[in-house]
Amino acid sequence: MPELPEVETVRRGLIPRLVGHRIVRLLQRRRDLRVPLPRNFAARVEGRTVQAIDRRAKYLLIRLDDGQTLIAHLGMSGRMVLHDAKSAAAQPLGRHDHVVIETDSGWQLRFNDARRFGLMLLVANEAVASHKLFKGLGPEPLDDSFDGPALAARLKGRRTPIKAALLDQRTLVGIGNIYACESLFLAGISPRRSAHTVQGERAERLVAALKEVLLRSIDDGGSTLRDHMQPDGELGYFQTRFKVYDREGAPCPTVTCSGTVRRVAQSGRSSFYCARCQR
DNA sequence: ACGCCCACCTGGAGGC
DNA sequence: TGCCTCCAGGTGGGCG
């Protein structure tokens, strides 16, 4: 379930259950995720207290009190499922619960990832920014400094379609297939437009759309969280209905437009858009 | 350097 | 029911 808004929502849901609490047990049930889990994982984490949980791009950064960061990425299918002691006892571990963390507050966190495209690793705080995984990452879209000119500069000279550029985490971080489609729709820009032509006012519009789509989704996630009280892993994507994503054949949601949502394949992924109001 | 394709892995949906 | 194919929200390595 993880693009930036989902990861951010998971982060906010984990904070009250983990921060300030000691990890009393870590159970590693299999090592072979996208990157093999750390050696001696349990020994290196047990006894540590969680000091903070940050996010960079789609990575969760769980700061431990020994100066290490537990980095987690959810891949395509990763979930963080919290159980209180009672529900943990009632719910046996599933075959995709790869890592189980128990805290001194009695809460249990299960990292579940059917496809195993996710990862967890332990890195010293000061080495996180220069870590291979973080080296080439672009700016955070919700930072105030990320504006039209900033995006335009990063698209300059790029011959790839704008959709592909948005998915490329070197351009900016946090955008996946869904929010790329939704943002381009909101900005009225075709996913097939060459990235270098998104300049000036067009880049302004796209940045505004990206921020709006992400913020609205985080809000929706927040309200879902309040309703559920915990990131139970079943939140899914927040907008029950996307405007164009997965809506092939539906009428274009723009009231004044008589177009139809189309699906095209771009670099192996589906793009959904209205060819009439997205240019 | 850049852009594109594919593989990584499992499960769900839909067709026959 | 079963079997087959296609598709899925991410990423990075390898290729031309």
Domains observed in chain A: 4-128 (3.20.190.10), 148-243 (1.10.8.50)
Q: What is the Cα–Cα distance from A10 to A6, expressed in whole angstroms?
A: 6
CA of A175 to C1' of C3 (A): 37
The residue that minimises its CA distance to C1' of B10 is A115
Residue A54, beta-bridge partner list:
A61
CB A161 within 8 A of CB A192: yes
CB A162 within 8 A of CB A189: yes
Count CB atoms within 10 A of the CB of residue A7: 25
Whether A279 CB is under 7 Å from strand C: no
Q: What is the Cα–Cα distance from A202 to A183, expressed in whole angstroms?
A: 12
Residue A28, both tokens: 């590693």
Written as tens digits, the pLDDT of chain A (279 aa) is 689 999 999 999 999 999 999 999 999 999 999 999 999 999 999 999 999 999 999 999 999 999 999 999 999 999 999 999 999 999 999 999 999 999 999 999 999 999 999 999 999 999 999 999 999 999 999 999 999 999 999 999 999 999 999 999 999 999 999 999 999 999 999 999 999 999 999 999 999 999 999 999 998 886 665 555 455 545 556 666 799 999 999 999 999 999 999 999 998 899 999 999 999
CB A204 within 8 A of CB A187: no
Q: HSE, CB side, 13 Å, CA atoms: give it for residue A77.
A: 11
Whether A274 CB is under 7 Å from strand B: no
Specify the pairing of strand A68-73 against strand A119-124: antiparallel
CA of A241 to C1' of B12 (A): 20
Residue A161, both tokens: 């379609």
CA of A145 to C1' of B11 (A): 41
Amino acid, res. A17: R
CB A218 within 8 A of CB A275: no
Whether A160 CB is under 7 Å from strand B: yes
